[in-house]
Amino acid sequence: MIKVIIIGSGNVAQHLIKAFDKNKKIEVVQVFSRQKEAVAHLLDSPKITDNFNDLKDADLYVIAVSDDAIAAVSSQLPFENRLVVHTSGSVSLEALDKKNRNGIFYPLQTFSKKAEVDFSKIPICLESEKETDFEFLKKVAELISQKVYKINSGQRKSLHVAAVFVNNFVNQLYQMGNEICIENDVPFDVLKPLIQETANKVMTLSPKDAQTGPAIRNDQKTIAAHLDFLKDENQKNIYKILTQSIQNNGKKL
């Protein structure tokens, strides 16, 4: 039985507690949370502590707190030479206090408390200082996910930036599509199958091969009609810049 302790009680912490607890080879022996009630629905109360000095022995300590708090939390741990990892996409390995053996256990997904997630399909990006720790982290990660990657800190930083493009920025374009629908009294539902198909297409085609529409066809008449239709300066500006960006891709070919 692999003993794991989770430090934190936010979205990532809660989803990890559930994913670990489901697996028969892993036991979440304890959770540290300053707000004990935040995780009270997930495990028995004797297993929840808000005092670092009460932390038990474990094979792995997972710090799943906000980026800014990772360094401070790691230095408050009252033990040495144990395996301590954080779950952030943007914080470096060096942020963790050197008194313990350090690593990264970064699940690349957008978590919200409401939505259930299937952890087996979530990529987990691993890094560690020592090779033996890496092998152990790989074993743990593969117990809960089918997609485990060895990713160094530079690659992880790039992934985090790329994730902002394909998640936050994509969602903002959905939001703009929604705004255009609302302004013109059209149900956003009409666009939903297109949204799903657009995502599905790049599961098998490269985004470059999947591209269609007026920009890639250089259909100046339609582009001009769309710019004329849009009244909001922000919408117009983003339309122009992304049209230009699509057309520049073409030239790079």
Of 154-183, binders to its own copies (CB under 8 A) are 154-155, 157-178, 180-181, 183
For its own copies, give the closer residue by CB, 75 or 196.
Answer: 196
Q: Which of 24, 206, 251, 253 binds its own copies (CB under 8 A)?
A: 206
Q: How far apart are the first and last CA of the chain?
A: 52
Strand partners, 62: 6, 85
For its own copies, give the closer residue by CB, 47 or 147.
Answer: 147
135 near its own copies, judged by CB under 8 A: no
Q: Which of 63, 108, 137, 141 binds its own copies (CB under 8 A)?
A: 108
Candidates 20-28, 52-60, 109-117, 136-144; binding stretch for its own copies (CB under 8 A):
109-117
Candidates 45-53, 95-103, 127-135, 232-240; binding stretch for its own copies (CB under 8 A):
232-240
For the segment 64-103, give every residue that binds its own copies (CB under 8 A). Answer: 67-68, 90
For its own copies, give the closer residue by CB, 23 or 198.
Answer: 198
For its own copies, give the closer residue by CB, 5 or 126.
Answer: 126
224 near its own copies, judged by CB under 8 A: no
Neighbours of 125 (CB within 10 A): 22
